[in-house]
Amino acid sequence: MAETKCNKPQDLKGTALLVLRRMSKYRLRFLAACLCMGVSSYAAVKGTYYLKPLVDDYFVPLIGKGEGAPPAGAIKLMLFMTGAFLISMVTSFLESQLTVSLGNRILFDLRNELYDHLLAQPLGEVEGRTAGALMSSFTNDMDSLGNMLRRSVPYLVNGVVTCISILVIMLRISIELTLVILLTVAVMLPVLNFFARRSMIHTAGSQACLMELNSTAREYGSSQELVRTLAMEKKAGDRFMSQNARLFEHTFRATAFNNSIFSVTNGISKLGYAAVLLSGAVMALAGRVDVGTVALFSQYYNSFYKPLTDMTRQISNILGALAGAERIFRVMDVPPQADDGRVALTDSGDGSYLWHGTGDRDGIPLAGEIVMKDVTFGYVKGTDVIRDLSLTIKPGEKVAILGSTGAGKTTVISLINRLYEIREGEITLDGIPVKDISIKSLRKAVAVVSQDTHLFTGTVADNLRFGRKDASDEELKRAVAFAGADFFIDHLPDGMGTVLDRGGETLSQGERQLLSIARAAVADAPILILDEATSSIDTYTEKKLNEAFDKLMAGRTVIVIAHRLSTVQNADRIVVMDDGRIAETGTKEELINRRGYYYRLLHAKKEGGASWNLA
């Protein structure tokens, strides 16, 4: 893996402004935190300043005189010092509470905003990113940004205020001793910069390796059965260990350089402290400064030096956090899927649906006619998956779409419900262009049962209601019985209330498919798409489902993508696709008599004796 140049944003100003825009929502909280920072820093500097009059006016004159109790003036100054430090402590505590609250609230808003953007973006954009990259945006990048808002920015602001306050006071008291401190700082800053830059480089490499490692762990972790079946444990392990080794190397070097900052700067700090004391002693013996000034500068040296080292480290953290924020904003910069449709679908209350917003034909009932005219589409620019496809599906018609792998079957149904936008041609639903129908209404009209079952963490009832939140318990029971899923749900520990997690892995693939079918029955959409919906169900169970499917399909427009002959035989019409085009269409008998593509596929199955799989 090539070494990452630097973990900093490409557009520092633009990214910082975007973060500040999120902070503006809580500007009063931010201003209050800044005020507390300023008061805390100034109070700490002022409290330390009382050391000079204490030493010069009281401690030095009293040395050797044997007086027991300190004079009233000294006690007064010590009380002032204590009060200043108490004020600094209280305001520092308030500032920490305000900044933690501010950072957490901004992250709360940003996570919601990022997730909303992902849900609204075109599916192709979301699928174009790796799962590891998306997870990194929600975890690593968010954590870095949170640490910046809660810690780095407050440290930076507090350090700037402290250093300016101390510098102003030191210059007023002794320019010579101030120059000694600044000379030490001048030696320290290049060293800090050297180690900080290298720490940033390897931190960026570490984050990139971690993202890659997370993707690999997720990929192989969800494919354990296949890995073991193919005896690929060693290959999977070698790949993981190789990525883990790169992660270790970058993390080790980043930590080594980061820790070196402490050891090296600590050494320079001690040498600088000695130089200040030595210079102060020489100047005090020469009568150019008093002892209180030397004592004060020795304290100010530590108070001045520490914020500078902290600020150098925090700047690195801030740049890294802004780089993460830039990646988050880059995801959010993708425009949402266009939804200019003004036509809406409403439930009439008697089981039928009406189109509204169609002009002269406002309030017409949904019939379910689907027309695709000269449609061309490709997932990648320059490569067409669908070419000049024209297809009309009549209301209430059951159409089966067949074809070999890559023929474009699943793409057709993805275009109908606008998971992807066509490049050329037009798709209409009841004569209304789908681009004129609001996406929410369009997908309310179409229920899809996919070959890939997706169950979410929650109860069985929650999963069944995923497409229709207001479904009653009775409707759920009817849908479950309808799909033939009641026989195993009744045996679950809590029936409908049984909690499913991790994609319902405790259920068999067939049981998950039955729940997916029952979920479509609950949705009760006028148009039904079955994308190899029985692919994971045994032949015996499929026979039991045929009658349920016939009931479910009654009165609906149905598109079936299937690889089993029994499902195709029940279709009103069969559409055979090849290389993104319709090769032939007709009833089963018409296609057999035509002795074309369908006939050859059918007889290839009979002659070969193999399982007929056109999916």
Look up the CATH architecture of domain 395-421+442-608: 3-Layer(aba) Sandwich (3.40)
Per-residue buried b or exposed e for 330-357, using 16+ beta carbons within 10 Å of the residue's own CB: ebbebeebeeebebbbeeeeeeebbbeb
Q: What is the pLDDT of residue 547?
A: 64
Question: Which residues make Cβ contacts (< 8 Å) with residue 443, sequence separation at least 6?
Answer: 417, 418
Rounded CA-CA distance 605/595 in Å is 14
Architecture of domain 17-333: Up-down Bundle (1.20)
Sorted by where each begins, the domain ranges of the chain are 17-333, 395-421+442-608
Instruction: Decide if 576 contacts 582 (C-beta within 8 A).
Output: yes
Residue 469 exposed, middle or buried by CB count within 10 Å (0-12, 13-18, 19+): exposed
Q: Are 426 and 373 in contact (CB under 8 A)?
A: yes
Place of tokens 């030397």: 294
Let me know: does 435 contact 594? Beta carbons within 8 Å.
Answer: no
pLDDT of residue 375: 93
Integer Cα distance of 605 and 615 in angstroms: 14
Domains 17-333 and 395-421+442-608 share a fold: no
Residue 243 CA to residue 215 CA, distance in Å, equals 11
- The amino acid sitting at 477 is K
Q: What is the pLDDT of residue 548?
A: 61
Query: What CA–CA distance (Å, rounded) separates 360 from 225?
Result: 58
Say if residues 36 and 91 touch (Cβ distance below 8 Å): yes
pLDDT, averaged per 10 consecutive residues of the chain (615 residues), comes to 52 86 88 89 88 83 64 86 93 91 90 87 73 73 86 84 87 88 81 74 77 76 71 80 86 78 75 85 86 87 79 76 86 83 81 77 83 91 87 91 83 89 91 89 86 82 86 88 83 88 77 84 86 67 65 80 67 88 89 84 57 41
Whether 268 and 184 have beta carbons less than 8 Å apart is answered as yes
Q: What is the pLDDT of residue 89?
A: 93
DSSP string for 290-334: -HHHHHHHHHHHHHHHHHHHHHHHHHHHHHHHHHHHHHHHHHHHS
Q: How far is CA 3 from CA 192, 196, 209, 253, 318, in A?
A: 21, 16, 10, 12, 21
Residue with tokens 């430090």: 85
Residue 245: the pLDDT is 87
Tokens of 218: 């997720």
Nearest to 48 by CA among 308, 296, 394, 306: 296
Amino acid 236: pLDDT: 80
With residue 19 as reference, give the H or E element that holds it: helix 12-23
